[in-house]
């Protein structure tokens, strides 16, 4: 299949396993140059031969460093794929979810994407046709009490993504 991705420069977060690894593999197979971001490398990711950046996206400084690495390696950025995320079942109910739990969940599932967009958007707009793909969850619209904090973070992420598309879509970044 030809998705016209040959030569495109793409950042993928949460790239070492699961959906992120599958996205990275598919993009590389289509000829894209991928900057694969993960907290740690996996053998599967290393085997793909893509450019890897080890970073913890709960660190507010990490997104800017990732974008700088992509730009210094490839000179431009065409696509950002916000994929990183994590869910932890809360089997003891809402009352057991602490403020720290909420903050940790929002850091990885919401703020990591907001910060990645903030860091990448100037480079995406500069190219005139950048794209942002944000992987969310069915829990954004079908919340589950076992992952109450995750569901709320993914709902916020969906709302953020829609609002952002209304602002920057007309500028060629969708």
Domain boundaries, the chain: 9-168
Of the candidate CATH numbers 3.40.50.720, 3.30.70.120, 1.20.1090.10, 3.10.129.10, the domain formed by 9-168 belongs to 3.40.50.720
User: Among residues 74, 106, 111, 150, which one is catalytic?
Assistant: 150
Whole-prediction pTM value? 0.94
The yes-or-no verdict on residue 171 having pLDDT over 80 is no
Q: Using one digit for the tens of pLDDT, what is the confidence trace for 134-155?
A: 999 999 999 999 999 999 999 9
CA distances from 46 to 16, 35, 62, 72, 149 (A): 9, 12, 21, 20, 32
Q: Using one digit for the tens of pLDDT, what is the confidence trace for 74-127?
A: 999 999 999 999 999 999 999 999 999 999 999 999 999 999 999 999 999 998
Q: Which helix (H) or strand (E) holds 101?
A: helix 99-106
Sheet holding 9-13, edge to edge: 51-54, 33-38, 9-13, 79-82, 131-134
Average pLDDT, the chain: 94
**Does 150 participate in catalysis according to the annotation?**
yes
The span from the CA of 164 to the CA of 102, in Å, is 23
């Amino acid at each position: 299949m030809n998705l016209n991705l040959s030569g495109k420069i793409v950042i993928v977060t949460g790239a070492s396993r699961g959906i992120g690894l599958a996205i990275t593999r598919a993009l590389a197979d289509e000829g894209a140059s991928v900057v694969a971001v993960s907290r740690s490398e996996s053998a599967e990711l290393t085997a793909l031969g893509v450019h890897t950046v080890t970073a913890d996206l709960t660190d507010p400084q990490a997104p800017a460093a990732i974008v700088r690495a992509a730009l210094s390696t490839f000179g431009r950025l065409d696509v950002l794929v916000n994929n990183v995320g994590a869910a932890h079942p809360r089997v003891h109910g809402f009352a057991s979810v602490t403020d720290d739990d909420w903050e940790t969940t929002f850091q990885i599932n919401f703020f990591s994407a907001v910060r990645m967009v903030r860091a990448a958007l100037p480079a995406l707009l500069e190219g005139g046709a950048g794209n942002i793909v944000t992987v969310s969850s069915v829990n954004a619209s079908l919340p589950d009490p076992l992952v109450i904090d995750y569901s709320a973070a993914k709902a916020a992420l969906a709302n953020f993504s829609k609002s952002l598309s209304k602002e920057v879509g007309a500028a060629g970044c969708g």
